[in-house]
Amino acid sequence: MADPIRHVADEASRRRTFAIISHPDAGKTTLTEKFLLYSGAVAEAGAVKARGARRRARSDWMEMEQERGISITSTVLQFAYRDRVLNLLDTPGHRDFSEDTYRVLAAADAAIMVLDVAKGIEEQTRRLFEVCRARELPIVTFVNKYDRPGRDPIELLDEIEEQISLRPTPLTWPVGDPGDFRGVIDRRSGAFVRYTRTVGGSTEAPEEHVDPGRAAREEGRAFDQALETCALLDGVGAVFDAPSFLAGETSPLFVGSALTNFGVRHVLDAVVDLAPGPSPRLDAAGSPRALDAAFSGQVFKIQANMDPAHRDRVAFVRVCSGRFERGMTVVQESTGRLFATKYATSVLAAERSTIDEAFPGDVVGLVNAGDLRIGDTLYEGEPVAYPPIVSFAPELFASVRARSTARYKQFRRGLDALDEEGVVQVLSDPDGDNTPVLGAVGQMQFEVAAHRLAHEFGAEVDLSPAPYRAVRRTDEETAKRLRSNPGSRVLVRRDGTLLALFESEHWLARLELDNPTWCLERSIV
């Protein structure tokens, strides 16, 4: 029988766990689908999008996501490519959900940033990319939609560097202008890779490797221009560099078209060959837990009611060390209680299948894990606690009331669930005023919360904007003093943290200046 420790290390090194972040409509879904095509997981593209039956099985708030054309939920896809196992974590493509993206990125080892060649970095999504940068994750960039007219990609390189301080290092460069896309020069080999379209892009685009002499004859000016740009890129040092990529400072960049499949293989190969596999995760005290140690994992996302037929709650756990085996009993570090993992699933879009084992880098969905919270560590053997996943400081606030007092119980239950999932932060008055205040990073979080309270929990609510502009973490002592001040309010978060909310940043600045000994922490973790 194989050595079980060696087995875990081997399996871990085969994993690549990554997320795609993009602005809505930049092509994330299409690229995901093409990844499945190139991995052989689907025989023909179209399977992911034409999910008619699956759509019907979706819950109401997912309908809302479809109406708005944005992805609110996160799902996990696992597929094999070459000799690797790829775990693709989906992230919402809207800045209002950047906190959710941040949590998902806590479970990823790398990210692919998809940009639309006509649009570049869009204002609405800059925040998402900044979040990704802040995590110092290695980022691969894919400039998409080159099959149609767009901007000069050189312009986009400057924009990426200026706007999110990430230095792109193109690994391929397109031959032909946007809209007249013939293929790419592979900057490492110098070869020209010519692509041929297939009907509707539903099967792999045939690739022809053409030597430079022939490419120059056959492609003429377009090839010469691309060569000139490559020389220019060499001249300014825009060449792939592994250490700065792994540090999240430079980003290998590919230009392509997810629709016609041009360039898709290069991106997948980059994930396998360049992106890092799982590495030993640091615990809260800063010591690494070896990949082949006993099982440990961290909950990075909770999602309730994914399937309206079963009012359930799934906790997504990233495996950090060891081998996960369905049915094993693990310890929930925060409570010290034992947790039986009888219902473990892997999740493909809205469909599930039971999984029996998982390795570092994999994501396991634990169904009906009522007691698990975001950030919780689960382990077997030697105890371990991973650092908490931080919450963002809310920037928007709204008071929330149940429209009908008869539905108060449902209202409370719904709020608790949404708070645990991190849909919104629910702040309550420690002195007993029972109108909670919701805190969010983006307005749409409120809309999702109200929609879900009504449709999943049967509690219609009224939301009214609360006039707070700034938030600080505080303590009992300062809270007492603040209570006599108009223009501020002290509320308590689910984890017991006291938060002071202020109507005026200017006034808060004065208060901080006048009372240097008060506890008014900017970091609200």
Which residues in 299-328 are b (16+ Cβ under 10 Å) and which e? bbbbbbbbeeeeebbbbbbbbbbbbbebeb
Measured CA to CA, the distance from residue 107 to residue 119 in angstroms comes to: 29
Tell me how far, at minimum, the Cβ of 146 lies from ligand G4P, in Å: 7
Measured CA to CA, the distance from residue 483 to residue 431 in angstroms comes to: 11
- Residue 195, classed as helix, strand or coil, is strand
Instruction: Give me the count of residues in the chain.
Output: 525
Tell me how far, at minimum, the Cβ of 395 lies from ligand G4P, in Å: 24
Q: Is the Cβ of residue 22 or residue 425 nearer to ligand G4P in the bound state? A: 22
Q: CB neighbours of 421 closer than 8 A, spacing ≥ 6?
A: 301, 302, 303, 304, 374
Q: Is the Cβ of residue 66 or residue 354 nearer to ligand G4P in the bound state? A: 66
- 472, 465, 466, 467: which is closest to 509 by C-alpha? 472
Q: Is the Cβ of residue 104 or residue 358 nearer to ligand G4P in the bound state? A: 104
CA-angle at 361, arms to 358 and 367, nearest 5°: 50
Q: Is the Cβ of residue 41 or residue 258 nearer to ligand G4P in the bound state? A: 258
Tell me how far, at minimum, the Cβ of 145 lies from ligand G4P, in Å: 4
Q: Is the Cβ of residue 26 or residue 330 nearer to ligand G4P in the bound state? A: 26
Q: Is the Cβ of residue 99 or residue 147 nearer to ligand G4P in the bound state? A: 147
Binding site for ligand G4P (CB under 6 A): 22, 24-30, 49, 93, 144-145, 147-148, 257-259
Which residues in 220-247 are b (16+ Cβ under 10 Å) and which e? eebbebbbebbeebeeeebebeeeebbe
Tell me how far, at minimum, the Cβ of 35 lies from ligand G4P, in Å: 12
Tell me how far, at minimum, the Cβ of 300 lies from ligand G4P, in Å: 21
Amino acid at 524: I
Q: At what angle do helices 408-421 and 443-457 cross, to 10 degrees?
A: 130
Q: Is the Cβ of residue 31 or residue 396 nearer to ligand G4P in the bound state? A: 31
- 111, 112, 89, 92: which is closest to 346 by C-alpha? 89
Tell me how far, at minimum, the Cβ of 25 lies from ligand G4P, in Å: 4
Q: Is the Cβ of residue 115 or residue 396 nearer to ligand G4P in the bound state? A: 115
Q: Is the Cβ of residue 141 or residue 144 nearer to ligand G4P in the bound state? A: 144
Measured CA to CA, the distance from residue 405 to residue 409 in angstroms comes to: 9
Tell me how far, at minimum, the Cβ of 117 lies from ligand G4P, in Å: 9
Measured CA to CA, the distance from residue 167 to residue 251 in angstroms comes to: 6
Measured CA to CA, the distance from residue 408 to residue 401 in angstroms comes to: 9
CA distances from 180 to 150, 493, 500 (A): 10, 55, 56
The total of other beta-carbon atoms located within 10 Å of residue 468's CB is 24
Q: Is the Cβ of residue 31 or residue 302 nearer to ligand G4P in the bound state? A: 31
Tell me how far, at minimum, the Cβ of 254 lies from ligand G4P, in Å: 12
Measured CA to CA, the distance from residue 183 to residue 285 in angstroms comes to: 49
| Helix/strand/coil (H/E/C) assignment for every residue in 44-77 | CCCCCCCCHHHHHCCCHHHHHHHHHCCCCCCCEE
DSSP assigned state of 91: -
Tell me how far, at minimum, the Cβ of 179 lies from ligand G4P, in Å: 9
Tell me how far, at minimum, the Cβ of 162 lies from ligand G4P, in Å: 23
Tell me how far, at minimum, the Cβ of 409 lies from ligand G4P, in Å: 38
- Residue pair 193/265 in contact by the 8 Å Cβ criterion: no
Beta strands in 123-230 (DSSP E): 139-144, 167-170, 172-175, 183-186, 192-195, 207-210
Tell me how far, at minimum, the Cβ of 69 lies from ligand G4P, in Å: 7
Measured CA to CA, the distance from residue 143 to residue 448 in angstroms comes to: 30
Tell me how far, at minimum, the Cβ of 26 lies from ligand G4P, in Å: 5
Q: Is the Cβ of residue 64 or residue 328 nearer to ligand G4P in the bound state? A: 64
Q: Is the Cβ of residue 122 or residue 147 nearer to ligand G4P in the bound state? A: 147
Q: Is the Cβ of residue 69 or residue 213 nearer to ligand G4P in the bound state? A: 69
- Residue pair 458/410 in contact by the 8 Å Cβ criterion: yes
